Amino acid sequence: MLKNIASQKWVVYAFLRTDNTPVTGDAANITANLRIDGSAANAIDDTNPAELEDGFYIFDLTQAETNGDCIVICPASTTANVQVIGCPMATWTFDLATPAEIGSAVSTTGFWTLLVKAFAVFGGKK
C-alpha cells in the first residue's frame, strides 16, 4: 500500500465460522476499524464495503487512513456466526520516489540513492 495516498482499497473476506463457506449479501452488516502505527482503533470512513463476490468485500480508504507505516484492519460483521478478516490483515506502507529523487537519479550518486530506496521497497526491507 502506498503511504498517505487517497483512493486505495482494502479487501476483506467474510465466511461462516461453522463451515468456512463464503458469506454473500452481508455488506450492510460489515464495518471495520483501522489501527495506524499501533494507535487506537478508528472506524473506516467508508462505513460499509462494496460486495465483490464469493465472500469478498472492498473498502475505499481516504488519504488519512493510509498515512502510517503499518496499518492493521479489524473488520467485523453484526451477522451471527460470520467472521470477517482482512486480505491481508496488516500491511506496511511505502513511499514512491518523488520527482526530485527521480530527477537526481541522472547523477551517479542520485542513481544509487534511488536504487537503494527501490531495493528497500521491493527487496523486502519495508
Distances (CA, A) of 125 to 49, 63, 94, 102: 31, 23, 10, 20
- Bridge partners for 10 per DSSP: 59
Reported as a single tens digit per residue, the pLDDT across 81-109 is: 999 999 999 999 888 766 666 565 555 55
**Contact call for residues 65 and 9 (beta carbons, < 8 A):** no
Domain ranges of the chain: 8-92, 96-126
Which of 90, 111, 92 has its CA nearest to residue 102? Answer: 111
Helices (H), the chain: 99-104, 108-122
Q: For residues 26 and 117, which has the higher predicted lDDT (pLDDT)?
A: 26
* Rounded Cα–Cα distance for residues 89 and 123 (Å): 21
Name every residue whose Cβ is closer than 8 Å to that of residue 116 and which is 6 or more positions away in sequence: none
At 87, the amino acid letter reads: C
Reported as a single tens digit per residue, the pLDDT across 3-44 is: 999 999 999 999 999 999 999 999 999 999 999 999 999 999
